[in-house]
Amino acid sequence: MKKRDQDEYLEQLWYMKENGCSDIAVLKENVHLDYTDTMVDILKDKSFVNLSRESQTISLTEKGEVYARQVIRAHRLAERLISDVFGGDFETGAGEFEHTITPALVDGICTLLGHPRECPHGKRIPKGECCKRLATTAQTSVIPLSELTVGQSAKVSYVQCKSDQQMHRLHGLQIRPGVLVKLHQKYPTIVIECENMSIALDEEVASNIKVWTTDEIMTQQGSQKRGTGLFAGLGAKVRRRRRGR
């Protein structure tokens, strides 16, 4: 079994787990490859799945969950990266991305994005070692824009939208990852300054805009100066895109 095929099966089994399902028929219906019993047997031999032909059920073992979690984490972070930073077709791009990136680079992207909790579809992104280290050292400095104090400035980390329409509206207002915002008013409506414009936002939209606080901005700038390899390259691409190049 090719690694890509293996990842496809384990990814679908993770989705089934999230939905509380273990029916083999559901796996057959949703896997993008031609389903074969041989592929499932290989996963069983690798101790990735628990399989019962009698009850027609299949589920991830502990070992299978560990592997599938990393695949899902890479996929959903790739969706977040492509959607928020590059503004492209995140579903297609993420499908290729997840099979080629290493766990260390996944953690680098997670850190670059401010440890987002959900993908653009609103599904939970499994935490990685970088998220765990952050949780044991300090509270995250990525917070909802609505939690800023009046007069406080911050940099947008990522935007969590419930619909494409909302995402396009915020992009049209120049509210996108990397821009600086300043909170001017919290009541009766939230008013921010962004790209020399005053913008009014309702509470729900403002809470879905995640920002780095001022202290975290300084930390990120120091990290960028020391960055090398892909992590630094991603930062350069983001900066070029913001300048419209």
Residue 236 has pLDDT above 60, yes or no: no
**CATH classification of the domain holding 112:** 1.10.60.10
DSSP codes of every residue in 21-77: --BHHHHHHH-SSPP-HHHHHHHHHTT-EEEETTTTEEEE-HHHHHHHHHHHHHHHH
Dig out the tokens for 9 from the structure: 């099966």
133 and 147 share a domain? no
* Domain coverage including residue 133: 72-140
- Domain shared by 105 and 163, yes or no: no
pLDDT tens for 180-222 read: 999 999 988 999 999 888 999 988 888 888 888 755 444 444 4
Domain check: are 208 and 174 in the same one? yes
Q: Is 220 helix (H, G, I), strand (E, B) or coil?
A: helix
Reading phi first (left if > 0) and then psi (alpha if -120 to 50, else beta), residue 211 is in: beta
Residues 80 and 56 in one domain: no
One domain, residues 90 and 44: no
- In this structure, what CATH number is given to the domain that contains residue 10? 1.10.10.10
| Domain final residue, candidates 86, 105, 140 | 140
What residue type is 157 in one-letter code?
A: S
Does residue 127 share a domain with residue 99? yes
Check pLDDT > 50 for residue 226. no
DSSP code of residue 188: S
* C-beta of residue 144 within 8 angstroms of C-beta of residue 157: no
Whole-number pLDDT of residue 120: 81
Q: Omega into 188 within 30° of 0, i.e. cis?
A: yes
Whether residue 211 sits in one domain with residue 186 = yes
Instruction: Report the run of H or E that residue 215 belongs to, with start and end.
Output: helix 214-226
b/e per residue 214-236 (b: at least 16 CB within 10 A) = eebbeebeeeeeebeeebeebbe
0.85 surpassed by pTM: no
Number of domains in the chain: 3
- Would 171 be classed as within a structural domain? yes
Residue 29 clears pLDDT 80, i.e. is over it:
yes
Both 91 and 79 in one domain: the answer is yes
CATH code of the domain covering residue 171: 2.30.30.90
Q: How do residues 78-125 score in pLDDT, each as one tens digit?
A: 888 877 766 555 555 555 666 567 888 888 888 878 788 888 888 899
Give the whole-angstrom CA distance, residue 154 versus residue 156. 7
